Amino acid sequence: MLLIVVLILQEYNDNHLNSRKGIKITLKYPIITLTDVGLAFDGKTLFSKVNISIYKGEKICLVGRNGSGKSSLLKILDGSMEPAFGTRFLRPGSTIATLKQSNDFSKFSTLGEYILNGLNELDYHKQKAQLSGLFVSFDKKTASASGGELRRAALIRALILPGDVLLLDEPTNHLDINAIEFLERYLAETSQAVIVISHDRLFLESIGNSLLWIDRGVLHKINKKFSSFEDYRDTYYAREVENIQKLKNKIKKESIWAIEGISGRRKRNQKRLKEFQALKSENSKIKLVSSLPKFKFSLSGKSASLVVEATKISKKYDELQILKNFSFSIRRGDRVAIVGPNGVGKTTLVNLLLKKEAPDSGQVKIGRALNLAVFDQNRDSLSNEISLWNFLSGVEKLDVIGKNDHILVQNKPRHIISYLNDFLFTRDQIYGRIGDLSGGEKSRLLLALLMAKSSNMLVLDEPTNDLDLETLDLLKELIFQYDGTVIFVSHDRDFIDSVASHTLLFKENKSVVIHAGGFSDYAKLTETIVRPEREGLQRKKLKNQKVKILPKRNLNQNLSKKLVAVEVIIEKLDTEIRKLEFFLSNKNLYFENKQKFERISKALVSRQEMLRQAEDEWIRLEELKSDIQ
């Protein structure tokens, strides 16, 4: 505290002196300061010696592995958790608004009651126009509200609370893409200091101008945008590995000397012996980078080539039309993303396609030998009071007769501790409460349940929520390699772009757009179609260096749209081929994992053939367009 006061007084004196010299200076000092802060649970240090200052207008991305202490650090910053040691200083008169990772709605009957609890309704109406992208019904019962509606209500409350600092823990969870893009714009314009924890890469790239990275108990302040983070992290790790190897080489060299060279010169070499012991001590304190979970999907056998066929299906609930005359086919190996606003009917569509619900009209056919594995976004279904051991041992489908300490994993008995170790759970966590896990760790537990089952079709509802960036990358790679079919609901644009072969996009008029490719591909395509004159102008300018807009009657709009669509497919296939070639560039891949090598090689040949066909189609359409013009 004394140090902070001294710094503020020093800054005031410097500014006062400069003002007398005629130099205009704005007094700037931190809103929140943490000095030598640390946190420990059950004798285990989560992080220590944290020294940070938060200033007005800063936009900070807080990143780190699941369980590294990100949410705990936010709680220390907002004052709801006391650090084990160190001090927290909040500038007098300053306020903090916080969005927690999960919020308790049980004491409130409606969303309106929750939002306005302890506030004047006038506070909301003053900012209502600014929050138009986060609409909720104030009369909606909390008990029947969807995950997206609950998240928007919690976010609205955080944004209308008075706060010089805004702390957001996974704000994009359950939000649809429109709400996420609105939040990006809002945070870009606010003068508040903002600290955000998120797994959403595009969101982090959009809002952050600096980074806080928790790595093995140490907090790093990085004055870079999030787009630079992964290169920074990988370079940091590579340099660390190099330094560790140098240290080990030095210890090895000194070990030989210690055995062979000190017997006749013991007194003279006491200093060198102490230095040798110091090297060994330094080596013992090294914390290695945490390994990734040992995720693995198991294929139960091929399904039919045609997995699902929906023909002119319609569905209504009372007066609410969900689908009307919708037709779509899913073939083996497809990765289908379902995207749209909260509450529009994405889960209903999944249930219709899987014949868990019947359509009002039309029909759905499911191919033979379909074996589903389902990942549910509802973390609340996990009982906080039971242990991880009891959770897995109590799953009836995984029961092993006569062995209560084993479960069936991909049709083979596995010891529960051994299996959960693969998902990075320690022995203490396995016997501890589920309620003590972080959001990302709960997601890993549900993934452990999902991957215990062999399947040929995955159904994933918001699989990316709360996962750290490294685990998310691993999940994307595994889905990419999975030989079965995947249907997933997600609002994570980067995940959709990386995984989806097709996107089903619910529009506000209740129609469903079927698009070959990811969400960003579709966004580029619609932008091109909405502003064809501008695109036509750019292409003509590049070709002839003359600004001339062709008369609309000379353009075949259908051909233009098809050309753009094919160009998007070519670009996507090109990206996938580069990824596959990158995997195959590993010279040891064949020897380390022959099956993986064969899968990737097969996928590469398939996509190269698809690219050839798409390029042929583009040439055909371009020739047709030239003939018409």
Provide the strand spans (E) within 9-100. 32-41, 44-54, 59-64, 85-90, 96-99
Identify the band that residue 119 occupies on the pLDDT scale cut at 50, 70 and 90.
confident
Report pLDDT for 605: 76
With vertex at residue 608, the alpha carbon angle to CA 536 and CA 202, rounded to the nearest 5 degrees, is 60
Cα–chain center distance at 24: 44
Token pair of 581, please?
């070639």
Boundaries of every domain in the chain: 1-29, 30-230, 238-284, 531-628
With vertex at residue 349, the alpha carbon angle to CA 323 and CA 526, rounded to the nearest 5 degrees, is 70
Q: What is the pLDDT of residues 476-529, one digit of tens each?
A: 888 888 889 999 999 999 899 888 888 998 876 667 888 887 887 767 655 543
**Would you tell me which CATH number, out of the four given (2.40.128, 1.10.3470, 1.20.5, 1.10.287), belongs to the domain 531-628?**
1.10.287
pTM: 0.71
Higher-confidence position of 436 and 266: 436
Token pair of 191, please?
């003068």
Would you give the DSSP letter of residue 130?
Answer: G
Other Cβ atoms within 10 Å of 179 Cβ, number:
22
Would you give the DSSP letter of residue 613?
Answer: H
Identify the band that residue 9 occupies on the pLDDT scale cut at 50, 70 and 90.
very low
Report pLDDT for 263: 52
In this predicted structure, the answer to whether residue 584 has a pLDDT above a threshold of 60 is yes
Identity of residue 352: L
CATH superfamily, region 30-230: P-loop containing nucleotide triphosphate hydrolases (3.40.50.300)
Q: What is the pLDDT of residues 168-192, one digit of tens each?
A: 999 998 898 989 999 999 999 999 9
CB–CB of 577/529 below 8 Å?
no
Higher-confidence position of 448 and 588: 448
CB–CB of 493/517 below 8 Å?
no
Identify the band that residue 556 occupies on the pLDDT scale cut at 50, 70 and 90.
low
CB–CB of 327/133 below 8 Å?
no
Closest CA to 208 of 191, 230, 188: 188
Answer whether 30-230 and 531-628 agree in fold. Answer: no
Report pLDDT for 551: 41
Residue 234 falls in which region: left (phi positive, over 0), alpha (psi -120 to 50) or beta: alpha
- Mean pLDDT over 295-300 rounds to 85
Closest CA to 473 of 302, 235, 230, 146: 230
Question: Among 139-153, 356-370, 527-541, which stretch is predicted with the lowest mean pLDDT?
Answer: 527-541
d(CA 396, CA 374): 16
